[in-house]
Structure 1
Amino acid sequence: MRAVFATDLSEASRAAFRSRTCLHCLDAIGVSEVHLFTVVPDNVSGSLPGMDAASDASEALEPQRETFEAAGFDVETHVARGAPYRRINGLAERLPADLTVVGSRGQSPLRNRLIGDTVRNVARTSVVPLLVERIDDGSDTAADADATLTQEHLFREILYVTDFSDNAERAFEFLPRLRRAADRVTLLHVLERERTDRGESFAVARERLAERAADLDRRMDVETDIAVRSGEAVEGILAEERRIDPTLTLLGARGTSRLRRLLLGNVSESVIARGTSNVLLVPPASVPPR
């Protein structure tokens, strides 16, 4: 597998690259080729005396390159100018990559800078699966030097969320790729009011989840569990995260709400912003090139 790792070169971003456990998880799911990528904003001038922004950024990527190479990965580094989300997704599409990895810091609105910017836009336009690694700043006043990954074992405990749509099924088909790194998968369906109004019941939802759990048991040889909650989707997902403390929450990137909106704007963005686990978004097969 080929992965694009997007970094803003901050210490918080570097935290995502220092964990040997994290790198072992990536190796376990078959990642062998890593493309380290950073974007120099257009408003950063490279014409100032003694300053070449692109060269400085390329040099700053070297410690991260050395970390990956020491762990046995083939590594290339890339520096570009422009809108970060366009450049990140553009590189992932050109390679093409099997996975894009970005870091996200903080859970409170004031610390959610990347949710309102790069992560949200990458997720909305990505044509490859996107892994959002949650980085813990430690406290509202902590320095970047104190940043660590919230969950080092990226794929050990997985919460798979499904609304039984085609997009959720595509995310389900991604699960077997994680089998060498996963110990347990919990399958969750949130029974919203509009679904009960159409006659869906807890019994039907549990039966459908049980069928998928049995399929995973055959294909992945992992422990599985199922859960059905009622109420609003985001609150149901966050409640299940609190109950089982997964290392990864897996969702399809789009859903089937009444308005046919992006699941990202409806659910996924809230899960990334308010949740406690890493998030893996799998886009639908029909996503057009960006």
Structure 2
Amino acid sequence: MKAVYATDLSAASEAAIENQTCLECLDRVGVDTFHLVTVVPSNVHSGMPGMDFEQQRKRGLDRYRTVMEAAGFDVETHVVRGTPHRRINGIAGAVHADMTIVGSRGQSPLENRVIGSTARNLARTTVVPLLVNRVERETEEPDVIHEHLFERVLYATDFSENAERAFDAFSYLRHATEEATLVHVRSPKDAVDEEPDPTEQLEALETTLERWDIDTRIDVRSGDPADEILAAEAAANPSTVLLGSRGRSRLRRLLLGSVSEAVIARAAGNVFLVPPPRNA
């Protein structure tokens, strides 16, 4: 598997990239090649006094390359110019990446400012699964919040086609997953009498995971989907929340539904977001 790892060379980004346990988890799920990407903003140019951003970033990427190659990965580096999320998505498409990874500071008192603009824009536009790797806030030497990225997974589903696609990610995540919580939230808008029993549907998924020796529990809730998924995260303390980036909405222009956007912005831990197929 190929992974695009986006970095701004900040302390938070370095903490995620150089964490050996995180690298081991990515190796276990099948990642063998990294494309390290950093983007120099279009409004910054080398002619600015004292500014040699491209060379500085190349040296930073070379340092990360050494760490990753020592861990057994093949690594390519990319220093590019432009709008960060567009260039990162472009490289992911060009190299046929299987996932994109971006480090992000953890929770902030301002919920709508929890993740940076690049992470948020990637979440809205990514064409490959996106891992938002949470890093501690408000410390000069931050560390990742969960080293074992996929050890405990909370999977949130509305039983839509793209939620099923997100569940399919267990086909490779299972090599690093020991526990899973399967969550479905009954919205007040659901026509309960017409809906299949969510417990039965979750139990079918539970059977699949238990065949892979993943200790699984189910959690059916009622209320606002985003709030209840976040409450389930607080109760289960997973290392990663897994969900699709589009649920039942048929508005194709909304690549990230309101539930997914709220979860990725407000979750305490990592989020693994699976988008629709590229031609959807």
TM-score range, shorter chain: over 0.9
Structure 2 residue 263 is matched with structure 1 residue 268: no
Q: Aligned partners of 1:175 and 1:267: how far apart in 2?
A: 21
How far 1:269 moved relative to its partner?
A: 2.1
Superposition map of 1:54-65 within 5 A: 54-65=54-65
Superposed displacement of residue 261, structure 1? 7.2
Matched-pair contact (CA < 8 Å) for 1:130–1:282: yes
Q: For 1:154, what is the secondary structure of its paired residue?
A: coil
Q: Secondary structure at the match of 1:127?
A: coil
1:211 maps onto 2:204 in alignment = yes
Structure 1 unmatched ranges of 5 or more = none
Residues 83 and 15 of structure 1: CA distance in aligned 2, closer, same or farther (over 3 Å)? same
Matches within 5 A, 1:157-196: 157-196=152-191
**Residue 235 (structure 1) aligns with:** 227
1:148 equivalenced with 2:143 (yes/no) = yes
Which amino acid counterpart does residue 71 of structure 1 have in structure 2?
A
Identity of aligned residues (%): 54
The one-character-per-residue Cα deviations of 1:219-261 (angstroms, maximum 9, x if unpaired) are x221111110000011110110011100010001101148677
The 2-side partners of 1:158 and 1:197 are apart by 27
1:101 Cα offset (Å): 0.1
Q: 1:86 to 1:109 in 2, by over 3 A?
A: farther
User: How much has 1:267 moved relative to structure 2?
Assistant: 1.4
Distance 2:236 2:95 in 1: 36
Q: Give the CA RMSD over aligned residues.
A: 2.0
Conserved 8 A contact 2:104-2:119: yes
Match for residue 247 of structure 1 among 226, 239, 253: 239
Amino acid in structure 1 at the alignment position of 2:124: R
Instruction: Provide the C-alpha distance between the structure 2 equivalents of 1:89 and 1:99, rounded to a whole number of angstroms.
Output: 10
Letter in 2 for 1:126: T
Per the normalisation by structure 1, the TM-score is 0.90
The secondary structure found in structure 2 opposite 1:148 is coil
Alignment of 1:51-200 (within 5 A): 51-108=51-108, 110=110, 115=115, 117-137=117-137, 139=138, 142-143=139-140, 146-196=141-191, 199-200=194-195
SS of the counterpart of 1:9? coil
Q: How many residues align?
A: 280
Structure 1 position 279, deviation (Å): 0.4
User: Which residue in the other structure is 2:273 paired with?
Assistant: 281
Contact between 2:104 and 2:116, CA under 8 Å: does it hold in 1?
Answer: no
**Code of the aligned partner of 2:121:** N
Cα 1:116/1:25, change in 2 over 3 Å: closer
Q: Give me the whole-angstrom Cα distance separating, in 2, the residues matched to 1:260 and 1:193.
A: 23
Once the two structures are TM-superposed, the CA of residue 263 in structure 1 deviates from its matched residue by 6.8
State the Cα distance separating 1:113 from its structure 2 match: 5.0
> What's 1:9 paired with?
9
Deviation track 1:51-80 (CA, whole Å, cap 9, x = no partner) reads: 432122111212111110110111111010
Taking the aligned partners of 1:199 and 1:160, their CA distance within structure 2 comes to 23
Q: C-alpha displacement at 1:110, in angstroms?
A: 4.5
Provide the rounded CA distance (Å) in 2 between the counterparts of 1:121 and 1:287: 19
Verify the 8 A CA contact 2:85 2:118 in the aligned structure 1.
yes
Alpha-carbon separation, structure 1, partners of 2:248 and 2:201: 17
